[in-house]
Amino acid sequence: MKWFFAINDFSNSLETYFQLIKVAVYTAKNNTSLEPFCIYDGTENELTKWLRRNNVNIIFQRTPHYEKLKNTLPRWFSTAAGAFLRVEIPKIIEKNCFGDEYVLYTDCDVMFLDNVEDYLRNLTCKYFAIGPQDNPNDWKEWVNTGVMYMNVINLLKVHEEFNIYIDKNLSKLVTQSYDQGAYKQFFRGQWDRLDLTMNWKSYWKPNPETKILHFHGPKPVETQLQQIENNQLPPDHTYYKMGLINNNFWHHTKLWQDVYQIVKNQKIDLVTAVKKNLARYQNRLQEIKVDLKRWQS
Percent with pLDDT over 70 in the chain: 87
Fold of 2-219: Spore Coat Polysaccharide Biosynthesis Protein SpsA; Chain A (3.90.550)
pLDDT at 61 over 50: yes
How many CB atoms neighbour CB 193 within 10 A? 14
Average model confidence (pLDDT) across the chain: 89
Distances (CA, A) of 99 to 89, 122, 213, 287: 12, 18, 28, 57
* 188-206 pLDDT per residue, tens: 989 999 999 999 999 999 9
Sign of CA dihedral 167, 169, 175, 178: negative
Angle, in degrees to the nearest 10, between helices 14-31 and 222-229: 120
> Could you tell me the pTM of the whole model?
0.86
Distances (CA, A) of 206 to 78, 133, 247: 33, 16, 10
* 78-126 pLDDT per residue, tens: 999 999 999 999 999 999 999 999 999 999 999 999 999 999 999 999 9
* DSSP reduced 3-state for 209: coil
Give me the phi and psi of 98, to 5 degrees please: -70, -35
pLDDT at 270: 41
Q: Which of 82, 63, 79 is nearest to 7 (CA)?
A: 82
Q: Which of 205, 204, 206, 202 is nearest to 216 (CA)?
A: 202
CA distance 1 to 146: 18
40 versus 12: which is more confidently predicted?
Answer: 40
CA distance 218 to 231: 13
Mean pLDDT for 53-69 is 96
pLDDT at 138: 87
Q: Which of 121, 87, 99 is nearest to 4 (CA)?
A: 87
pLDDT at 230: 78
Strand partners, 130: 193
Strand partners, 38: 5, 58
pLDDT at 148 over 70: yes
> What ranges do the domains of the chain cover?
2-219
Percent with pLDDT over 90 in the chain: 75
